[in-house]
Amino acid sequence: MRAIHTRRFLAAGLAAGLFCLTACSSSDEPDAASNAGSDGEAITLTIGLFGDFGFEPLYAEYEAAHPGITIEERIAEFSDHHTNLTQRLATGSGTADIEAVEVGFISQFTATPDRFHNLLDLGADQLEDRWLDWKWQQALARDDSALIGLGTDVGGMAMCYRTDLFNEAGLPTDRDEVSQLWPTWEDYVATGQEFMAAADGKYFFESSGNMFRAMIEQAPVGVYDSDDNLIVATSDHVKHAWDLAVEAIEAGMSNQLTAWTPEWTAAFGQGTFATIICPAWMTAYIEGSAPDAEGLWDVASVPGGAGNMGGAHLVLPAQGENPEAAYDLIEWLTAPEQQLKVFQETGNFPSTPELYDDEELTQFSKEYFNDAPIGQIFTEAAQLVQPQYQGPLQGDVLTIIGQGLGRIEEGAQTPDEAWTQVLSDLESLA
């Protein structure tokens, strides 16, 4: 979910003691007692991420409180990160001590919990109430015997839009009035048609794939049912989302950009499109990619109701040789105090509901987004999310469908040809 420039387990008898070392002290201050490895030697903990999670200032704070521990961050592009992690887990070597997993891929890894340290054995069994219930559930093995990750952020959705482009197209620019334009996705497409009729060389959105994914993430059932059956070919909701995305493509609304590419990033600075699906983490990408556009972007509600797009967990591959030290670090990084700091710096929205009544979160706004009450907007968005079951290859399935829409955008296939190939590619994937 993110580009590089921003964002992007002990025996039961020891678990209680480990919990007390962390939870019995203020989680705002790294516990200095559990320094270095289990036998006191200096160690380096490696952490593999897709994009910048905003952890860098926290590393310095943690290292200062833990003499002997050095943290080494490795950042890769989104697709490369998950492909490499899958391959390294299969071959049994090459993973970092800590790896980030985006929500679209978490079910793929909870299906093989033996490849990860069980966080329930390292003290996480005492911390379940820290996270949104659905965020906690996403990282559990199917039989609930193991927890493979601790949640970082969540991606309750809003819609970011360019006020200057809306003004030029004769559309309202006030965020409440903009929200009223599109209670449904059909209304969003109708607004796009109005925008395109008045726009001069601009597009309504950057990628039909993100529009499609947002509609899917809002549905009670996505691309899998709860028995891990892939239902893309039979789901009325999937077909409706596909057809509406195709309608928008055929109306010329898409900038035909592939998310996370250099061209996609450059388009933010060039101001070539007017709207983008906007989980909280997207705000960091916009601000980082278009620093000269301060005050031109604002944040409205997303069509179609609540849904979650993105967010991540930190997991500990079983290859890691320092699971206790690695667990201490991720338990601290994902504590509410650290999640609040990350949100204020990067926009990644906390997955810890105890912050949702904290005015440091709810009263947070950003001048860049025309002083939009970002804290309030994304708190409400996160609280309204209804959990959706994530199937074992969720991320790959959404990628294949997005590629199909991309072929229509490029003119390489008709909608029927693209849909036929999507279904064929999904059969090969299974």
Question: pLDDT value at position 10?
Answer: 27
Q: Please tell me whether residues 277 and 221 are part of one structural domain.
A: yes
Q: Please tell me whether residues 268 and 342 are part of one structural domain.
A: no
Measured CA to CA in angstroms, residue 275 lies from 167, 286, 349, 428 at distances of 13, 11, 20, 34
Question: pLDDT value at position 64?
Answer: 96
Contact yes or no for 173/338 (Cβ under 8 A): no
Closest by alpha carbon to 301, among 179, 181, 217, 186? 179
Instruction: Report if residue 35 sits inside a domain.
Output: no
Q: Which domain holds residue 239?
A: 158-307+372-429
Q: Please tell me whether residues 259 and 173 are part of one structural domain.
A: yes
The 3-state DSSP class for residue 235 equals coil
Closest by alpha carbon to 335, among 152, 156, 155, 154? 152
Q: Which amino acid is at 5?
A: H
As a whole number of angstroms, the distance between CA 316 and CA 325 comes to: 11
Contact yes or no for 175/307 (Cβ under 8 A): no
Instruction: Report if residue 25 sits inside a domain.
Output: no
- Quickly count: other Cβ atoms within 10 Å of residue 380's Cβ: 16
Q: Please tell me whether residues 183 and 328 are part of one structural domain.
A: no
Instruction: Report if residue 130 sits inside a domain.
Output: yes
Instruction: Report if residue 2 sits inside a domain.
Output: no
Query: What letter does residue 116 receive in the DSSP assignment?
Result: B
Q: Please tell me whether residues 182 and 220 are part of one structural domain.
A: yes
Q: Which amino acid is at 106?
A: I
Number of domains the chain is built from: 2
Question: pLDDT value at position 29?
Answer: 53
Query: What letter does residue 257 receive in the DSSP assignment?
Result: P
Question: pLDDT value at position 430?
Answer: 65
Q: Which residues of 43-53 are buried (b: 16+ CB within 10 A; e: fewer)?
A: bebbbbbbbbb
Contact yes or no for 66/36 (Cβ under 8 A): yes
Query: What letter does residue 252 receive in the DSSP assignment?
Result: T
Question: pLDDT value at position 51?
Answer: 84
Question: pLDDT value at position 261?
Answer: 85
As a whole number of angstroms, the distance between CA 154 and CA 118 comes to: 22
As a whole number of angstroms, the distance between CA 120 and CA 139 comes to: 11
Q: Please tell me whether residues 279 and 382 are part of one structural domain.
A: yes
The pTM score is 0.85
Q: Please tell me whether residues 80 and 143 are part of one structural domain.
A: yes
Q: Please tell me whether residues 286 and 317 are part of one structural domain.
A: no
Question: pLDDT value at position 39?
Answer: 63
Q: Name 266's Cβ contacts closer than 8 Å, sequence gap at least 6.
A: 289
Beta partners for residue 313, in sequence order: 101, 151
Instruction: Report if residue 15 sits inside a domain.
Output: no
Instruction: Report if residue 108 sits inside a domain.
Output: yes
Question: pLDDT value at position 38?
Answer: 57
Instruction: Report if residue 65 sits inside a domain.
Output: yes
Q: Please tell me whether residues 296 and 241 are part of one structural domain.
A: yes
Contact yes or no for 405/256 (Cβ under 8 A): no
The 3-state DSSP class for residue 300 equals strand
**What are the helix and strand counts (H, E) for the chain?**
18, 9
Q: Please tell me whether residues 258 and 198 are part of one structural domain.
A: yes
Q: Please tell me whether residues 294 and 417 are part of one structural domain.
A: yes
**Strands 98-102 and 308-315: what pairing?**
antiparallel
Q: Please tell me whether residues 278 and 379 are part of one structural domain.
A: yes
| pLDDT (tens place) for every residue of the chain, 430 residues total | 343 334 442 222 222 222 232 333 344 555 544 446 656 689 999 999 998 899 999 999 999 999 999 999 999 988 899 999 999 999 999 999 999 999 989 999 999 999 999 999 999 999 999 999 999 999 999 899 999 999 999 999 999 999 999 999 999 999 999 999 999 999 999 999 999 999 889 999 999 999 999 999 999 999 999 899 999 999 999 999 999 999 999 999 999 998 878 899 999 999 999 999 999 999 988 999 999 999 999 999 999 999 999 999 999 999 999 999 999 999 999 999 999 999 998 899 999 999 999 999 999 999 999 999 999 999 999 999 988 888 888 888 999 999 999 999 999 999 999 999 999 999 998 6
Instruction: Report if residue 37 sits inside a domain.
Output: no
Question: pLDDT value at position 407?
Answer: 96
